[in-house]
A and B are shown apart, each in its own frame.
Chain A
Amino acid sequence: MLDPIFLLEAVINGVLLGGVLALLALGLNLIFGVIDIVWIAYVDLVALCMYAVYFLVTWGWPLWLAGLGAIVVGAVLGALVHLLIITPILASPPINQLLATGGLLFFIQSAATLLWSTDHRSIRVNMPTIEIGGIFVSFTRLLAFALAILAMVALYFFLTRTYTGTAIRAVSQDREAIALMGARPQRLYLVTSAVGGAMAGVAGALLIIQYAVHPYFGGAFGPLTFMICVLGGLGNMVGAFFAAFIMAQVISVGGVIVSTEMGYVIAFVIFIVLMFVRPGGIFARRA
């Protein structure tokens, strides 16, 4: 029989993982909701931001400054992806858009292999482990969780309290009407891509203190991130937030009870079944 303390620890780790997954899903979901394009390579952009933090830190930058640097790198990458790849194919069938960003996925993964080899790179951060009643929680994970929540709140205020944010929400509701209102959708797409990229930068900065980065990092979290977005309802940020915590619990607890791979298998099977039962996401209202 499994010790309940392990189970509780798994639940807590699941919550902490959920925060990170929610952050990953957030940027992707923002881009999807506004531009209506799935960036298959989104988590690979996150991996690039992790590399950015890693190299900045090894060049002697303090961690917090390197994190800010990664956010800038992410925003620039997001804008570049939009200008170079997405803009020419905005009117193409969705599948071509999906495949173009898939090509980007291959490109990033192999370019990273070419430039930085397949070594796993991580930053050593000396932070204590907190013990509460026999349960050990890593402080780095706790910190990442708190910052992830903070970033999400910041994005929420950006979208609801600023002029640009309001315009972005408007374009996601009706892209023809917003043009008639005098805002320029192209410019808003670019801003959205840059913000989505900046979120990738935040995620990268928070992930590098817990995970080692390698060229195929995107493959480990990518599929999961899409599934969370879809489960929450593509474009629905609140839905994705909760979906992230549900999937993280399944993976974390399933991983402890059965095995790590089976935790993921269970999560994916739940995803497949939920897609059949509630194709619009778990929080979709019945049409």
Chain B
Amino acid sequence: MTPLRVLAVLALVALALVPVLPLGPAQEYIWHVIIQIFLWSFVGNAWSLMGRFGLVSLGHGAFLGVGAYATVLLWNAFGLTPWIGAPLAVALTVVLALVVAYPCSRFQVVGHYFGLVTLAVGEVIRLLIVAERDWTGGSLGVTLKTSGTASGAVSLQFADKRVFYYVGLAAWLFGLWVWWRVDHSMARSAMEAIGEDETAAASVGIRVARFKMGITALSAALTALGGALLALYLAYANPDTMSGIGVSLRIVFAVVLGGMYALLGPFVGTALTIALSEYLRIYFGIKLIGIAETIYGLLLIVFIIFLPAGIYGSVAQALRRRVSRPSGRVPARA
């Protein structure tokens, strides 16, 4: 085993042991923060599946929102267990993603235009949730109905945070696994070619539309699953925190901050942003509302100017360059 693998295994064991270790009176809070990091990293990972190939979506909030709301509303209205509700929500999101992705691929909507179309999709979903307030709760959001007589295994609601800790850990690892599979597949080469130049890619026989729709569907499905898990964990969904432009940009930024071309980039970015905002929130309390976000925005600008490959991406690149000079795996664009 290489030292890197040993390190990875040790880190995993440490993460798996966190809920068992006594962490003092703040342990519930620490779990809560880590669960959020797991779930948002999972979503960031899903986004980066598209982002790294030049499909910069500014509308992942739409997928997150549909995943979250469909799961919650199916449980609230019909008592449908999230075991069925969440897969249905994911399926619905994939349909939405394909409805958007098909014309985008067909009519070659790329670059700025792709970003703006997806941004509009995100806003449409947010506004629809607000407009259909009779059954979605509108801008006040919707609370997940409690289990009542049903057991936690059916409603997927648990008073014990440790259950969701392991669910979050599993989801995050699953996301990494998917990312790794894509990274080591032939589709990656095809997608990179498409990201560089669609017409050239098509001319050498790559089926551009098929690859783009495939990666979009995969990314949307994982995002929707993330939305469903977040809604189940928080037992609440809100149009502003689950869909629309704000959350869409937040996903993008966390990933860019960490590095979208590296496996652990989304995790590092998400962990840093969540840790920063939690730290500032505790440090300043309610005295200086907005300071966390102000520093966050400033950091983003600085990072994009000076470290466009992201924190983790830049470090990983530098390490790799030191280990092996003639490396072909350094991302072409950063």
Contacts and interface: CB of A to CB of B under 8 A. Distances in A.
Interface of A: 38, 85, 88-89, 92-96, 98-100, 102-114, 117-118, 215, 219, 222-223, 226-227, 230, 234, 259, 261-262, 264-265, 268-269, 271-272, 275-277, 279
Interface residues of B, number: 48
Contacts of B303: 103
B107 A276 contact: yes
A110 B308 CA distance: 23
A222 to B, nearest CB: 8
B253 interface: yes
Given A110-B290, A117-B289, A279 B113 contact: yes
A100 B308 CA distance: 10
Main SS of the interface on chain B?
helix
A109 B291 CA distance: 11
A118 B289 CA distance: 9
Contact of A103 (B103, B113, B300): B300
Contact of A223 (B111, B130, B245, B299): B245
Pick the 10 closest A-B CB pairs, nearest first: A107-B297, A103-B300, A110-B293, A106-B297, A113-B290, A261-B131, A114-B290, A103-B301, A276-B103, A110-B290
B298 A275 contact: no
Nearest to A260: B131
Contacts, number: 138
B140 interface: no
Main SS of the interface on chain A?
helix
Contacts of B256: 99
Given A96-B308, A223-B119, A103 B297 contact: yes
A176 to B, nearest CB: 21
A6 B56 CA distance: 42
Interface of B: 54, 56, 100, 103-104, 106-109, 111-113, 115-117, 119-121, 123-124, 127-128, 130-131, 245-246, 249, 252-253, 256, 288-294, 296-301, 303-305, 308, 333
Contacts of B305: 85, 88-89, 100
Nearest to B256: A99
Given A92-B308, A276-B103, A227 B116 contact: yes
21 contacts: A38-B112, A85-B301, A85-B305, A92-B308, A96-B304, A96-B308, A98-B112, A98-B115, A99-B304, A103-B253, A108-B297, A110-B290, A111-B297, A114-B291, A227-B120, A261-B130, A261-B131, A268-B121, A272-B100, A279-B108, A279-B113
